[in-house]
Amino acid sequence: MDVEKVLKTTKQIPLKSRTLIHLLLVNNKVKETISSALKPYGVSLQQFNVLRILRGQGNIPANLTTLNERMVTKMSNTTRLVDKLLIKGFVERSICEENRRKIEITITEKGLDVLKDMDAIMLQTENSLVEQLTEKELIELNTLLNKF
């Protein structure tokens, strides 16, 4: 991706700024591509993330704090994400018997089924996003990104 070309400028952007802009542009492309892949399921990237976290919990319910801590994108509207998943029947919410102030969230069978369908399309999407990179380059890229 040629940053200057994308930004339609003939000026040479300083290397540090160019690098950060490049990261932002790549981030946007990844988000847009994944969002498009999830669109047929009526699920946002953040909702997908919540479903994956809940599936990873196994039979252990999660609370809003747990979900927010484990989200790829930290946000304050986790309650709204869960509400939308409730409406779709992908999750259930209940009050903890030991602590009535604690809300427990679990994924439903319907949520597991749709997530299984999404897994296949997400694998395909992820592969298409990184197909230009070798395994060695992916390892090197991750090493560099870890420095952030």
Q: Is residue 4 part of a domain?
A: no
Parent domain of 124: 42-146
Measured CA to CA, the distance from residue 21 to residue 42 in angstroms comes to 30
Domain count of the chain? Answer: 1
What tens digit of pLDDT does each residue of 39-87 get?
A: 999 999 999 999 999 999 988 999 888 898 888 877 678 889 999 999 9
Contact 41, 118 (CB under 8 A): yes
Q: Is residue 114 part of a domain?
A: yes
Q: Is residue 95 part of a domain?
A: yes
Q: Is residue 67 part of a domain?
A: yes
The amino acid that residue 89 corresponds to is G
| Stretch (H or E) spanning 48 | helix 45-56
What tens digit of pLDDT does each residue of 97-142 get?
A: 777 677 899 999 999 999 999 999 999 999 999 999 999 999 999 9
Q: Is residue 21 part of a domain?
A: no
C-alpha distances (whole Å) from 78 to each of 3, 16, 32, 91 are 34, 34, 21, 13
Note the pTM of the prediction, 2 decimals: 0.85
Q: What is the CATH number of the domain that holds 65?
A: 1.10.10.10
